[in-house]
A and B are shown apart, each in its own frame.
Chain A
Amino acid sequence: MKKLQSTWYNMAVVLTLISVAMGAALAYVNQVTKPTIEQEQQKALETGIQKVLGGGDVKVNEEKTLTDANGESLQVYYTDKGMAVKASDPKGFGGRLVALVGLDYEGNILGYEVLETKETPGLGAKAQTWFQAGAKGNIIGKRAGDLAVSKDGGDVDAITASTITSRAFLRIVNNAAATAMGKPDANTSATGLHKN
């Protein structure tokens, strides 16, 4: 077959046809995968909430979006066991750090899970394991609110050579607690806040 000539007409028609065909393929795949993607995200969130609240079945009673002192919006999921707070801090070493923090209604940390990280692999990316129970920088069971790394006078061991990541992470935990426990908003019923 001879190659088509590069006339204006040919070029316009061919490019349009290719774009339409690829667009149709994209639309089709999007339609097929969208429900699965949403399911996966929902499932990831649910297992995350379960995990940070110490495992077992957890039913979310109420869900609320709040704004913390830095103007970052955070999601709070109230359950019978405690609350799971999805909070973030824009000043990690590599960019935004997002974590899910499990707290009981007194503000004690039950667990946490790093959801999104752009921290350095091998350094700041260790945050997922570093602060867990039994690890060096264990924060589980501690009271959130004014946690700080030892360099700043606190009692949490920072990740070796990753003080900036550690600070950002602790800011997330502190802000999560402060905001979720803090002054009940007049506009919301805040049912979860007064449960024990």
Chain B
Amino acid sequence: MKALRIFLNGVVKENPTFVLLLGMCPTLGTTSSAINGMSMGLATMVVLVFSNFIISLIKDIVPNMVRIPAFVVVIASLVTILQMLIKAYAPEVDKSLGLFIPLIVVNCIILGRAEAFAAKNNPLDSIFDGLGIGIGFTLALTLLGAVRELLGTGRVFDVALFPETYGALLFVLAPGAFIALGYLIAIVNKLKKN
């Protein structure tokens, strides 16, 4: 039950995007469509699960004063490994997200969870925390991507819902990301209060 609680904590109560407002750079940058947002969320989740696990394993042998550089080395290596794997086995994903994958390294969610959770908890709990936060991030990015894609081009996951001419291009561009995110956060907070 504890695992479930940790998991749900990441998805709902401490949702990285809607509640903690962490990792805004990839959130705003990659959500021009639902599929892009989802891929970015999943890629981040994979890194997060492994980094949480490894950091939790090595937390006792890392002296306090060098913990941040040690964590960053682990995270950066994991991201590079993921990038090589995506290039080799999912070239399509690499084409649309290639530019953003290296930026996972500097996503503060990952270092944040390493510092706030993995460095204080056991490896199993850390995996669940990574999964929870990762899925929360993925859901948020997919939702934001879907909203922007719908309002901007009339499509969701490339399925046309209304003709493109009615779309407000603004939502596909950067300012639309801020506007859509602002309203989504407001809606989520309203729903959580009820």
Q: Which residues of A contact B (CB under 8 A)?
A: 1-7, 10-11, 14-15, 18-19, 22-23, 25-26, 29-30, 33, 36-37, 40, 44, 118, 120-123, 161
Contact = CB atoms under 8 A, between A and B. Distances in A.
Interface in B145-194: 152-153, 167, 169, 172-173
Contact of B69 (A3, A15, A26, A123): A15
The 8 residue pairs across chains A and B that have the minimum distance between CB atoms: A22-B77, A122-B172, A6-B65, A33-B88, A36-B88, A6-B63, A121-B32, A1-B60
A19 B71 CA distance: 10
Contact of A26 (B60, B77, B91): B77
B5 interface: no
Interface residues of B, number: 31
Interface majority SS on B: helix, strand, loop or mixed? helix
Interface in B52-91: 58-66, 69-70, 73-74, 77, 80-81, 84-85, 87-89, 91
Interface of B: 32-33, 58-66, 69-70, 73-74, 77, 80-81, 84-85, 87-89, 91, 99, 152-153, 167, 169, 172-173
Given A4-B62, A14-B62, A121 B87 contact: no
Contacts of B81: 25-26, 29
B63 A11 contact: yes
Contacts, number: 78
A19 B73 CA distance: 7
Contacts of A121: 32-33, 172
A11 B64 CA distance: 9
Nearest to B59: A3
B27 to A, nearest CB: 16
Chain A CB within 10 Å, residue with most, of B32, B63, B80, B153: B63
24 contacts: A1-B60, A4-B61, A4-B62, A5-B63, A6-B64, A6-B65, A14-B63, A18-B73, A19-B73, A22-B74, A22-B77, A25-B77, A26-B77, A26-B81, A29-B81, A33-B87, A37-B87, A37-B88, A120-B173, A121-B172, A122-B152, A122-B169, A122-B172, A161-B169
